[in-house]
Structure 1
Amino acid sequence: MLALNAQDIHMQQHAASKQEAIKAIAGELTQKGLVEAGYQDGMLAREAQTSTFLGSGIAIPHGTTDTRDQVKATGVQVFHFPNGVDWGEGNIAYVAIGIAAKSDEHLSILRQLTHVLSQDGVEAQLKTIRGAEEVVALLNGKATDPQALVFKPEMILTGFPATDMTTLQAVAAGLLKNHHCLDSHGVSALMASSPVHLGQGHWLLGAAEGVQKTGISLVMPACSLTHQSQPVSALWCMAANNALHLPVLETLMEWKISNQLSTCTNDSPDALIAALTQGSSLPSAPCEPATLSDAMAIDGESGLFTVTNAHGLHARPGAMLVNTAKKFSADIKVANASTQSPAVNAKSLMKVIALGVKHGHQLQFTASGTDAEEAIAALGAAIQDGLGEHA
């Protein structure tokens, strides 16, 4: 896991061009003993090949694969440009994260950064952020948009040894309180409320008092329980002071109608949250590698391709893949079949890099639209050709 501290952050920086910004960042990477001086040439060469602008006001300048021998230790240096830097093609970078990484180490760094920086509202926060500690908290995922829904994998608890509904309520309320969604008054109000049976063993409990942030927790008992003569397999708790929870509630109702409630909790917490908040496909039963294409199937075309790039899908081949997808009007989704990831938008560089694709991983594409067949063929050909690299 990438560990940032305030000494890695350089606030209130100014640069007339991205080349000037990259030179300054390379200088700090060298000063901190992370790279040799020659790494700067690799960073500039990498930028000349393909822009390292990720989106949301963020750029990730780094060296080429043939300058990795200039890297002494994995690390980053973060530059904050309050006035922005023109990163080309009309893109303005407010934060540039210079990366020094050996081999596949860069993939974990990119995945962490893109997971955090792809959240809604991050660009606005980066423009106005004031201190290095705030930047550290944001990049480490500890700072979130106060208007964002709080629903994280650690708020889903499976196999809890409860003997009654009251115990489940207490645990669910505690999860919401620990994530600053409820205060003590809200916990008491939630405990005094009566859950509603959604069906198929799933129960719903809502809180409107003492709510600090809108959030959701889910607790599933280890053994079969009953409440009011009905089975209990899961308790959903929603604390709400706005309407952010309503899309999740609507999806749960749709799953109830389609008899998916009973199997939705078979999936991993990450996949379940993605299905509820991002509209990703939800398997109706535990996934097996052979059935991944069925789990993310849509009307249209599909293809499964193996990434042969020695260093995986880092920024340059990732950008090549995304640019290929953008040539087509079709709606294109991609999932990392090797890690059973949820499907994401293949035209978003942040989301593609966040898949953490390494050498040998398989990518599952689905596309719908008038040029879907051509899109799948072009993506397959691009991957086979090494996505701009000699694999």
Structure 2
Amino acid sequence: MLTLRPEDIRLGCQASDWRDALDQAAEALQAAELVAPAYRDGLYAREAQSSTYLGNAIAIPHGTAESREHVRATGIRVLQFPAGVQWHDGERVHVLVTIAAQSDEHLDILRQLTHVLDDDSVAQRLAAAESAAAVARLLSKSAVEARLDADTLCLNFPAHDVRELALAGAARLRQLGCVGSDFVAAVAEHAPVRLGQGLWLATSGRGVETPALALATPETTLREADEAVTGVFSLAADGSAHKSLLERLFALLESGAGQALRGADAATVLARLSGESTTAHTRLARVLNAHGLHARPAKQLVQVAREQAVPVRVRLAEAGGQPVSATSLTKVINLGARRGQQLAFSAEGEDAEAALTAVCEAVSSGLGEAVLPFDESREHVAPREDDAPPPEPLPADEPHPGVAASPGLAIAPAFVLQTPRFDYPERADDPVAQTQRLESAIREGAEQLEALVREARGGEVAQILAMHEEMLQDGELHQAAREAIGEGASAEAGWWEAIETAAQAQERLADPLLAERAADLRDVGRRVLGILCDVKLPDPPDHPYILVTDDIGPSDVARLDTRRVRGLLTARGGATAHSAILARALGIPAVVGAGPRVMTLEGGTELILDGERGRITPAPSAERRDAAQQRLAERERREAEAWEARFDEARTRDGHRVEVAANLGNTAHAADAVARGAEGIGLLRTEFLFMAHAKLPDLDTQIAEYREALDALDGRPLVARTLDVGGDKPLPYWPVPQEANPFLGLRGIRLTLTRPEVLETQLRALLMAAAGKPLRIMLPMVKDVAEFRTARQIVDRLLEEIPAEQRASDLQLGVMIEVPSCALLAPSLAAEVDFFSVGTNDLTQYTLAIDRDHPQLSAQADGLHPAVLRLIEMTVQAAHAHGKWVGVCGELASDATAVPVLVGLGIDELSVSARQVPLVKARLREFDCEEARTQAGLALAQATSEAVRNVLEVR
């Protein structure tokens, strides 16, 4: 929607006639560099077709479709003529709203201005207005949407006249619960009003529950008043809420497209009534993302739309809402598109078809997420529940449930952080100054987010904060805030109104994941509001505490001091909220979505927070506290002892050497891993480097990243996995064709071999970064020796091309054992590879045919299943027969029950998260090799993973 700003308004203009006024309007658009000089002819051509006089002293001159080629940028200029101008149709005009439109944006202005037609005093007030802000306030008004969708349409109804069609539409609205019997009776009392172009309108405000618009079209040809009947609208009017529907009718008639509804199907009717031009190119695309268009895929869609040569608009195909700009992140998210719903894209111009193809292909490919085909017969949408308990104080010493968001146990006093109170005036007199204040605060907020992204250095934190940065730059948010400021709001009030409107729209969405993203919007909004109000959050206490808050933004979680924060408790949110994701990444126990009662806790109240069970206990009894403290003390004792011995070599009780390394997703964390006792990096997930960039990182960028990790290791070995994307880790700039099962498709080594130049650049960067340092490179998702040999040839060639002093000399090339075929063929591979690393997460998934992220089955994807253990045993035997070493880099490597079994099977290295390194080393010291072999034998003799764990726990 076009924004009317005070700076777009010229006051006190004078004109000798309408031509002089039109020339001044054209000059204003040209001076603003919105149009070329030739656009003036388009304004005249439009007036020759029909007058653009709207009513109440307002005209809206705009060019013809042919003159759009002279529009450089969409915009408007408003000219006030206090003395008035006689228009060519005899009407008196005091205001020209002159539009430079690259598409049909003049219809947006028409919708905004329709409300002034009801106020006979507007003309006089516009003529007398002494400030641009006053003119803007008189002309501007936000459109209100009412119901219009496929269900309100009653097409091809067997009627004999327009009265029956009107009653059919009224009955349809009654069936939908929009109106009662009074409305139907009111429609029956009066004949429909003829609108022209074969359309009639029946309207009433009686018995209206929800404003809505129905359209009934005849099954056979009907004539009324010597005119072929296209259809009859039945409008349920309610105050001003229905006006947007009337405005759409006016726009439809004004464009002369009313007859296009004759015999049209539902999709065409909704397209025309949504404001799409009959000349627009349109295309449908179905949303396939499991959680719909939440923030991340929406961001990808916006980026694709911005790359197109023509503006692209989008709406929900099943509804009759107006299209929104596909370049606005907030507007796209607020469509609330769920999996299975179709998006209707539209564009105009020479490049429209290419633009639509690009955005539709992006949607179909998943917008950077792994997606599955849509089968309506198997899709089920769970209803959203809103059952918040009353905010009564929580009873002492009673467990209170929440959502388990991040595992761990914490006992500490509560630090209750109330949502900051922002005191600011609602109104302000100087819109220009207020807009400047807002723009300055937005810039400062963006700089803060940029700094946080740099500090995060990639990974989950950086990705989420980067999405916040994108939200902050959303032009639609800025636009909404400026409109409010133009109506007299202060910068603070205008900004927060825009944020809260968008957040509430998301909270009303049917998909809980999409609704949870409202926290991201408010987080972005509070950042700017805090800058405007100069409000800073209170400092947390110096002692350990559990943070209690209504909701917490991801950027707040990223700033938490993990040395003092023992746990996180929120009233709102869910396990899939970005704040919960980051709590897990930072290792902070968290319970979220515990309801508003938690905000009644007093600061300093002792809490037991159990992040694994998803519950909290305020003011626990001595007995309950002692039990929890004993659990915590035992864990802390073991952690403390492990920490003290973290730099000791990892050995079993009888001195058998097993190397303990760290898994990393960010090269910047290598120094932290060393500080925690890691004896090397057993898995560097290089894909996170690629995910942190908007395009493929070049050679120098990769060398710098890898060298940072190698320098921090100070001679310790680095095992780097080559790019492993596809499946659940897509790259937005490397789209993969849609696959029925992406986990069995193009991913890992088989994907990078489709673009060997990408793999070669990465291998070259690793070799050059590791000059003089030990480097181990492993290839993911290898199924047999042929794939290894192809990669080996690239490495061998690079070793010949790069001077010896500029590359790694201590080099090993290995493969990950993730595919069962690779384990079964380990003997043939072991003869050629330098090492194996078992990725137990994927090996378990593929061996048991269980998606490790499946909501019902994931708990059964246990790496201690005897089938998985037998594959590991086969791999070790084959490797040791050729003098090669074997590591484990999956989650099983840090499982206290599994560690002795893995050692008993002959595993030489365990690679775990950096936080787990001291504990795994401590676990190794608790058993000897004979005991480990015994436990391995017991495990292999069982039939199920449950039996394995049972027999091992007994021991």
Structure 1 length-normalised TM: 0.43
**Pair member with larger Rg:** 2
When you count helix as a share of all residues, which structure comes out higher?
Answer: 2
Higher RCO structure, 1 or 2 (CA under 8 Å, sep 6+): 1
When you count strand as a share of all residues, which structure comes out higher?
Answer: 1
